[in-house]
Amino acid sequence: MTAPSPASRSTGPCRSCSRREPADAAAERCPGRIPRPRAYFNEKILASLAAAGHQKLTQWHKTLTAIAASYGVPAPILVAIWAKETGYGAEHLPKRVVPALATEAFIGLRKDYFRGQLIAALQILQRGDITPDQMRASWPAPWASPRSCPPSF
């Protein structure tokens, strides 16, 4: 018996769709794949985000103070999440959330989870908190990460 080739080894479940794919296919088809720690914690990128974070704390002081008071999350933590998750809003978000969530709720491996996310996203739209075109993500699961998390919106 021969060992499987590196390309045929499973990389483990993707955090956004729970699919198990070979390493070569995973990178292309599933942008929600968990990055390697070295790439995610790149010191140059983190230093750049931290430097910009000081400016964002000053620029958005009034808003961040109100959010911190309302939700109990300190402003520096909010800015750190904003930085790491979206690059202060600079990240390209190509997927419209509702169709992406609907697809995962219908054919994905975690149907119940994504069905709840879809219902919550539709409720957010129904209230008028955001427009459908503004409701975008890099992949369905990031919509349920610290970026938004519809059920607790």
The verdict on residue 47 lying in a domain is: yes
Residue 67's pLDDT is: 92
Average pLDDT over residues 63-87: 90
Which range is least confidently modeled, 1-15, 25-39, 46-60? 1-15
How many distinct structural domains can be found in the chain? 2
* Residue 129, CA distances (Å) to 8, 62, 120 in order: 44, 20, 12
**Within-domain flag for 37:** no
Examine residue 4 and state whether it is found in any structural domain, yes or no.
Answer: no
Residue 103, pLDDT above cutoff 80? yes
pLDDT band at 92 (very low <50, low <70, confident <90, very high): confident
**For residue 118, pLDDT beyond 70:** yes
Q: Is residue 103 part of a domain?
A: yes
**Can you give the residue range of the structural domain that contains 106?**
95-152
pTM equals: 0.52
Q: Are residues 106 and 138 in the same domain?
A: yes
Handedness of CA 149, 69, 64, 77 (dihedral sign): negative
